[in-house]
Amino acid sequence: MDLRISEGSGTSTTLDDQSVQSPTRRAKVWEYFEQELVEVDRVMKAVCKYCGTKLTSKRNSGTNSLRNLVADTCPKIPVEDQKRFIATMRKRPGEGSFVFDPRKTRECMVKWCISAEVAFNKFDDPFFAPWMESLQPLFSGVGRQTMRNDCIARFKMMRQELRNELQSLNSRICLTSDLWTSNQKLGYLCLTVHYIDANFILKKKTIAFKDVKYPHTGLAIEEVITKCLIEWGIKEKVFTITLDNASNNQSACDLIRESGRSDMLFGGEHLHVRCCAHILNLLVQDGMAIAHGAFDKIRDLVRHIISSPSRIQAFNEIAERSGLPSKARLILDVPNRWNSTHNMIMEAIEYKVVLKRYAEEQLEPSPDDEEWTNFEAIGEFLGAFEEATKAFSAHRSPTSHLFLHNVLCIHQALRNENWQINCVLEDLALAMDSKFDKYWEKDT
Max mean pLDDT among 223-237, 377-391, 396-410 falls in: 223-237
> What pLDDT does 395 receive?
67
Distances (CA, A) of 96 to 140, 252, 336, 397: 23, 63, 64, 46
CA distance 245 to 234: 24
Q: What is the DSSP letter of 72?
A: I
Q: What is the DSSP letter of 63?
A: S
Give the residue ranges of DSSP H helices in 308-399: 309-321, 338-350, 352-362, 369-392
User: Who's near 143: CB < 8 A, 6+ residues apart?
Assistant: 123, 124
Residue range 258-280: mean pLDDT, rounded? 81
User: Who's near 349: CB < 8 A, 6+ residues apart?
Assistant: 372, 375, 376, 379
| Global confidence as pTM | 0.62
> What pLDDT does 15 receive?
38
> What pLDDT does 442 receive?
52
Per-residue pLDDT band for 390 (boundaries 50, 70, 90) equals confident
Per-residue pLDDT band for 73 (boundaries 50, 70, 90) equals confident
**Residue pLDDT, tens place only, 281-316:** 888 877 777 766 678 888 889 999 999 999 999 999
Please tell me whether residue 240 adopts helix, strand or coil conformation: strand
Q: What percent of the chain has pLDDT over 90?
A: 22
Distances (CA, A) of 277 to 160, 325, 386: 33, 33, 10
CA distance 415 to 379: 17
Quick check: 23 pLDDT over 50? Answer: no
**Short-list 403, 294, 407, 283, CA closest to 339:** 283
Per-residue pLDDT band for 28 (boundaries 50, 70, 90) equals confident
**Residue pLDDT, tens place only, 108-159:** 999 999 999 999 999 999 998 888 888 888 787 788 999 999 999 999 999 9
Domain map of the chain by residue range? Answer: 4-89, 102-160, 169-274, 279-440
Contact present, 372 and 353 (Cβ < 8 Å):
no
Residue range 380-388: mean pLDDT, rounded? 79
> What pLDDT does 320 receive?
92
CA distance 377 to 424: 10
DSSP string, 139-193: -----HHHHHHHHHHHHHHHHHHHHHHHHT-SS-EEEEEEEEE-TTS-EEEEEEE
> What pLDDT does 335 receive?
67
Contacts 24+ apart (CB under 8 A), 153-157: 154/107, 154/110, 154/111, 154/114
User: Who's near 259: CB < 8 A, 6+ residues apart?
Assistant: 226
Quick check: 104 pLDDT over 60? Answer: yes
Residue range 60-69: mean pLDDT, rounded? 77
User: Who's near 11: CB < 8 A, 6+ residues apart?
Assistant: 21, 24, 25
The number of helix segments (H) and strand segments (E) in the chain equals 16, 10
> What pLDDT does 11 receive?
39
> What pLDDT does 405 receive?
81
